């Protein structure tokens, strides 16, 4: 036990006092705690794999939410966008795939994904235009597009499920590459470019600047409106990727899938150190937060504890982590 404590202390010292400094020790403590309570079963291939299967949906959606949060905004329409995109793809696949072979078979799948992403981009354009060029507050604009997209999805499908897709699509959600779920690879494929864009491009720097002080950024000659428009399109496209993962995993699409994820994505992002008022937050922190949420959820599942208690614990952890900087300040006074 003493060893563990010293390791935790050393790691936390190396990571510094930021969010990672709080989250990494927390993750290690959780992992150690659950290892003691659950034992070997917690580290079995099955458990790890099921964790890796469950994380990507929430992960990609949280990335989409994070982008909007970084600019000081919010994107409430991500789930509705994802479902509308998913339904578009699902409709095209089920309508045109049967009876096709060879090149056409591949072509239809690629085209369906393409049209789906076009729908997602369109929603992003509407969000971006209304927020950046008309000056509507992001929460209102995206509340509107959320209701609109959901209404469109429900109206067109009458609340029905569209299911039954070709194998390559199903593979995205359920297949593995050398034991690693393909969906996790998709999450990595999304997270890496987002991290690079945010940290190593002028666009990313401007996003952080807008989040810190939009007016100052505009007055220093940055076309904030263009940046915001791009940002919301990007956020929507990530929701589109989440849509593909979701429809592949469930092998179906519906207007109401994943609705309970909406506020959880904000929870995950904020837990990962994203400032809800914008300007601060890293992809790494978000991923760490996602792993923490997933570890708790999977461990409780193995222990046969209600998933609703998991929700409560997630909420408690968010408050605890959010309170840490302030408690530190208190203890140093």
Partner 1 sequence: MPESFIASFKRFRRSHEFWLLVVSLVLCAGLSLSTAQFLTMQNLFDLLTSYAFVGILALGLLVVLIAGGIDISFTATASVAQYVALAVANAYGANWITVCAMAIAIGGALGAINAILIQKLRIPSIIVSIATLNIFYGLLIFFTGGKYIYSLPDWFATGIFWFEFNWGKDTSYGVNLQILVLAVCFLLTWLLLNRTNIGRQIYAMGGNPDAARRLGFHIFGLNMLVYCYMGVMAGIASLVQAQLAQSVAPTVLVGKELDVVAAVVLGGASLMGGVGTVLGTFLGLALLAVLQNGLILLGVSSYWSSLFVGFVILVSVSVTAWSQRERHTKGTSP
Angle of CA points 251, 257, 262, to nearest 5°: 135
Total number of residues shown for the chain: 333
Q: Which of 55, 82, 90, 130 binds partner 1 (CB under 8 A)?
A: 130
* Span near partner 1 by CB under 8 A; candidates 97-105, 171-179, 237-245, 322-330: 322-330
Q: Which of 115, 122, 143, 170 binds partner 1 (CB under 8 A)?
A: 143
Contact call for residue 18 and partner 1 (CB under 8 A): no
Contact call for residue 332 and partner 1 (CB under 8 A): no
- Residue with smaller CB distance to partner 1, 11 or 143: 143
Site for partner 1 in 57-96 (CB under 8 A): 76
* Span near partner 1 by CB under 8 A; candidates 1-9, 35-43, 146-154, 206-214: 146-154
* Span near partner 1 by CB under 8 A; candidates 131-139, 202-210, 246-254, 288-296: 131-139
Q: Which of 14, 137, 201, 220 binds partner 1 (CB under 8 A)?
A: 137
CB count in 10 Å sphere of residue 168: 13
* Span near partner 1 by CB under 8 A; candidates 115-123, 161-169, 190-198, 306-314: 306-314
Nearest approach, Cβ of residue 301 and partner 1 (Å): 14
Nearest approach, Cβ of residue 154 and partner 1 (Å): 5
Q: Where are the alpha helices (DSSP H) in 134-282?
A: 138-157, 167-174, 182-200, 202-212, 214-219, 224-250, 261-271
136: DSSP letter: -
What is the Cα–Cα distance from 276 to 267, expressed in whole angstroms? Answer: 10
What is the Cα–Cα distance from 20 to 32, expressed in whole angstroms? Answer: 18
* Span near partner 1 by CB under 8 A; candidates 31-39, 89-97, 236-244, 257-265: 257-265
Q: Which of 201, 205, 220, 259 binds partner 1 (CB under 8 A)?
A: 259
CB 143 within 8 A of CB 73: no
What is the Cα–Cα distance from 233 to 125, expressed in whole angstroms? Answer: 6
Angle of CA points 84, 190, 25, to nearest 5°: 115
Site for partner 1 in 108-127 (CB under 8 A): 126
**Beta-carbon-side half-sphere exposure of residue 237 (alpha carbons within 13 Å):** 15
Nearest approach, Cβ of residue 103 and partner 1 (Å): 37
- Total interface residues for partner 1 by CB under 8 A: 49
Q: Which of 221, 308, 331, 332 binds partner 1 (CB under 8 A)?
A: 308
* Span near partner 1 by CB under 8 A; candidates 50-58, 102-110, 153-161, 219-227: 153-161
Site for partner 1 in 263-282 (CB under 8 A): 263-264, 266-267, 270, 276-277
Contact call for residue 150 and partner 1 (CB under 8 A): yes
Contact call for residue 292 and partner 1 (CB under 8 A): no
- Residue with smaller CB distance to partner 1, 70 or 146: 146
What is the Cα–Cα distance from 104 to 99, expressed in whole angstroms? Answer: 10
Q: For 260-297, b where at least 16 C-beta lie within 10 A, e where not — what string?
A: ebbebbbbbbbbbbbbeebbbbbbbbbbbbbbbbbbbb
Distances 214 to 210, 217, 224, 258, 297 between C-alpha atoms, Å:
4, 5, 7, 32, 37
Distances 321 to 17, 69, 81, 268, 316 between C-alpha atoms, Å:
12, 18, 30, 11, 9
Binding site for partner 1 (CB under 8 A): 76, 126, 130, 134-137, 139-141, 143-152, 154-155, 158-159, 259-260, 263-264, 266-267, 270, 276-277, 306, 308-316, 318-319, 322-323, 326-327
């Amino acid at each position: 036990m003493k060893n563990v404590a010293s390791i935790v202390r050393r790691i936390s010292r190396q990571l510094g006092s930021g969010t990672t400094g709080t989250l990494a020790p927390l993750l290690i403590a959780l992992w150690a705690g659950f290892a003691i309570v659950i034992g070997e079963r917690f580290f079995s291939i099955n458990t790890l794999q099921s964790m890796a299967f469950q994380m990507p949906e929430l992960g990609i959606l949280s990335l989409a939410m994070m982008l909007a949060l970084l600019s000081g905004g919010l994107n409430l329409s991500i789930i509705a966008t994802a479902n509308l995109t998913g339904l578009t793809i699902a409709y095209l696949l089920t309508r045109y795939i049967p009876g096709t072979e060879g090149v056409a078979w591949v072509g239809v799948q690629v085209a369906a994904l393409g049209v789906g992403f076009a729908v997602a981009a369109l929603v992003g354009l509407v969000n971006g235009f209304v927020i950046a060029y008309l000056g509507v507050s992001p929460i209102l604009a995206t509340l509107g597009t959320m209701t609109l997209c959901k209404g469109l999805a429900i109206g067109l499908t009458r609340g029905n499920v569209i299911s039954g897709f070709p194998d390559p699509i199903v593979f995205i959600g359920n297949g593995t590459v050398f034991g690693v779920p393909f969906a996790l690879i998709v999450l990595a494929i999304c997270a890496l470019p987002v991290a690079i864009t945010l940290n190593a491009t002028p666009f990313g720097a401007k996003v952080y600047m807008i989040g810190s002080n939009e007016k100052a950024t505009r007055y220093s000659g940055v076309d904030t409106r263009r940046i915001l428009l791009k940002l919301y399109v990007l956020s929507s496209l990530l929701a589109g990727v989440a849509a593909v993962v979701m429809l592949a995993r469930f092998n179906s699409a519906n207007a109401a899938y994943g609705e309970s994820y909406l506020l959880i994505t904000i929870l995950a992002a904020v837990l990962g150190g994203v400032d809800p008022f914008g300007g601060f937050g890293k992809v790494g922190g978000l991923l760490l937060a996602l792993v923490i949420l997933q570890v708790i959820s999977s461990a409780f599942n193995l222990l046969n504890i209600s998933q609703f208690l998991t929700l409560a614990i997630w909420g408690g952890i968010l408050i605890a982590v959010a309170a840490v900087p302030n408690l530190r300040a208190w203890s140093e006074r």
